[in-house]
Amino acid sequence: MTLQNHIETKLRAAFSPERLVVVNESHLHAGHQPGFDGGGETHLRVRIVADAFTGMSRLERHRAINALLKPEIDAGLHALAVEPAAPGETTRW
């Protein structure tokens, strides 16, 4: 299972989202560090809409997702962009 799929599975289990997309953006960062060719799964973006975020501030939403994905971050996930929303809120995606 890829890291991207693993993260999708964890997010679905924890938040039961009505909409979820995990995007691998590693290729966009090729050359940003010596020897990094943009391969692998080092830079991911999470776009998620879930009832669980209703009534939560943006910071609380980010903290909840970061806490859930702490093992993956500690294991080497370099960058995690998070775009959480509650149902009915406007998203850019």
pLDDT digits (tens, 9 = 90+) for 46-74: 999 999 999 999 999 999 999 999 999 99
Largest CA distance in the chain: 43
Q: Is the model more confident about 40 or about 65?
A: 65
Confidence (pLDDT) at 33: 53
Confidence (pLDDT) at 43: 76
Rounded to an integer, what distance in angstroms lies between the CA atom of residue 74 and that of residue 90? 31
DSSP structure class, residue 38: S
Indicate if the pLDDT at residue 40 is higher than 90: no
Domain 3-85 in CATH 3.30.300.90? The answer is yes
Beta strands in the chain (DSSP E): 19-24, 43-49, 79-85
